[in-house]
Structure formats: C-alpha cells, structure tokens
Amino acid sequence: MQVDGEGEVLALAYDQVVGRPRPGDRVLLNTTALAMGLGTGGYAMVVAVPDRLPPDPAPGPGHLVKSRYTPLQTMVLGVDEQDSPAHDVLRDADDLERMPVVVADLHSALPAVLAGLRQTAPGARVVYVMTDGGALPAWYSRTVARLREVGWLAGMVTAGQAYGGDAEAVTLHTGLLAARHVLGADVAVVAQGPGNLGSGTRWGFSGVACGEAVNATVTLRGRCVASLRISGADPRERHHGISHHSLTAYGRVALAPAEVVVPELGTDLDEVIRSQLGAFSRHRIVTVAVDGLMDALRQAPLALSTMGRGLDDDADYFLAAAAAGRHVGHLLRTGN
C-alpha cells in the first residue's frame, strides 16, 4: 500500500470483515503496530475500503458477537449457542473424559508441542484452542494455516473474543468441550494467538491466562499438561531458565494440579531450572528426556521462531515445548 508521507507499507486486510481490496482502491489504514515496529504486528491493518464497501452478510443463524463494541465487531455462529447444531451436545456437557490438554504461554510453542507429540503418537487427532490474549482473528496465524495444511492440526476452536476457528466458543470452557465432543479431539493445545503482550511487571502479561486454562481443564476433568516457557538465550533475566510467566501462571494463578513437564536438557541450564521448581509445589513434576527431539523439531513444516529467535538460537525454548508434546504422546500410547 502507498501511504501519504510514508511511502510503501505492508498492509493486511481480513476480507471476511472488510472485503478484498483491489489495485487502485483507496483504503483506510490503522498503522499503530507498524509505527511501533512490533515483530508480530508489523503491518498496517485495513480498516475499510470506503469507496467499495463489502455487501451486507446474508442473514443466517448466529448471534455471537466477537471483538464486541469495536468498529470491527464480528457476528459469528457460536458452537455453544442455541442456533448451533452442536447446542444439544454442549448444553449439558461437563466432562473432558480425561482428555490431555497442553497449556502453553506463547503461540510459537504450538508447532513445537506438535512435533514432540507426533514423534510418539503420530496418529493423534489434535485440536488447537486459541485464546484471546494475542491476535483475535485466527486468520492472522500463518503457523495455524500451515499446520492445518499438512495435517498436523485436525481443527481449531477460537474462544472468548478470538474468532475465525472451525468452532466459535463463548468461553475457554466451552471451547475445550467443543474440541472434545464436537471436533473429536484426542488432545487439545491451548495457547494465545500471535502477539504476546507483556509489561515487564509481575502480573502484567497476557500469559497469566495459562493459569486459568489449567483451572478450566481440571474443572472439566481433563488431564492438564503444563508446557514451560524456558530459555537460555533470552537476554532478560526474568525469562532466564523458567520464565517468570510460567512461574507466576502455574505457580500462583493455577489453583488446580497439573503435570508440569521439565525437559532434561543436559546443560548448565538444568541446574537453574531445578532451583526454580519449588514454585510448582501443588503440581506433579514430570521429567522428560529430549533425545531425538531436535530432529523432530527440524522436521517441522515451518520455520520455528520465538521473539525473533530461531531453533538454533533458542533450542531450549522449543525443546521444552516439544517435551510437553512427547509426554502427552506417551499418555496416549500407554493409556495412563
């Protein structure tokens, strides 16, 4: 797009919301994230094509409004609302039937979790439940698009204010139940969309919701597996070893017990991690070997990246997520 005073910029339009721009169109842009240089938000966002507005959507079932009371609020058919074909299934649903649920902080953990899972249980049917701590439209995630393309994900649920999934859920609770009882998941992975938000304070980060995801999973009688955010490469002290995000979310917010997966890295970082495990006294610590997981990660169908660092730059981060996936694969294979 050409912007007066700025020159050419990359812009993104969700054609399901604003229509599909054509060459020569005049568009209204929001350049906030672009001006800030955000790594996961470095685009101008198309707000409208004012000279050629999209047609009004055809009347149909669905009254669930997401991104509510914003200029781009979106009407969807909620999987749990009365007009949904799945309403009768979910109306009294209250049990995940011990389905394993992997909870992860960052969106970038998703392919790594799946890489570890597929190494031990390649036939597992996995559904991603995207929460609304990061991007709200699921369409923003090239990761999900690629994972679905190659069959690593069987489906996707968007919960809360997030939208664009195969199933739209009002809450994380119904999102998890829909993953199990509507989309037929063997395993669910819960993580926010792209664009983690943090403020450098103890409580001011979107990953706090990981603790609430643990509570929701256990409340619904699922088997919760907590994937740790671990790094030996992040220059910020609060993210060295086990990130304060995981320490706070799982150690303080999660009031129900989960299985916290700790990778055996075989490096000096192991000692740092062991010194931090006291934060998880209410949980069960599961130590998982990482031998062979680097090969699994290298075979991922997309380039792995977190906070601008690739697999070789921050292997510990991806190995921790893959270890959680490996543990879940073991649970599925053994039935334990």
Domains contained in the chain, CATH given: 2-48 (no CATH), 87-334 (3.40.50)
- Number of Cβ within a 10 Å radius of residue 31: 15
- Number of Cβ within a 10 Å radius of residue 277: 17
pLDDT at 5: 64
Report CA 70 to chain centroid distance, whole Å.
Answer: 23
pLDDT at 173: 98
For range 220-233, the mean pLDDT? 96
Task: For residue 64, report the phi and psi dihedrals to the nearest 5 degrees.
Answer: -85, 115
Query: Cα(109)–Cα(331) distance, rounded to whole angstroms?
Result: 19
Residue range 304-333, pLDDT digits in tens = 999 889 999 999 999 999 999 999 999 999
pLDDT at 65: 94
Report CA 200 to chain centroid distance, whole Å.
Answer: 21
Question: With 90 as the cut, is the pLDDT of residue 279 above it?
Answer: yes
Residue range 120-136, pLDDT digits in tens = 999 999 999 999 999 99
**pTM of the predicted structure, to 2 decimals:** 0.94
Report CA 243 to chain centroid distance, whole Å.
Answer: 17
pLDDT at 32: 85
For the chain, the average pLDDT equals 94
Question: With 70 as the cut, is the pLDDT of residue 250 above it?
Answer: yes
pLDDT at 335: 80
pLDDT at 216: 98
Query: Cα(247)–Cα(250) distance, rounded to whole angstroms?
Result: 6
pLDDT at 43: 83
Residues in the chain: 336
- Number of Cβ within a 10 Å radius of residue 30: 15
For range 274-279, the mean pLDDT? 97
pLDDT at 36: 78
Radius of gyration, alpha carbons of the chain: 20
For range 283-302, the mean pLDDT? 97
Percentage of the chain beyond pLDDT 90 is 81
What single DSSP character describes residue 239? G
For range 88-114, the mean pLDDT? 97
Sign of CA dihedral 209, 212, 217, 223: positive
Residue range 6-62, pLDDT digits in tens = 678 889 999 989 999 999 999 999 988 777 777 666 788 999 999 998 888 778 788
Strand partners, 159: 169
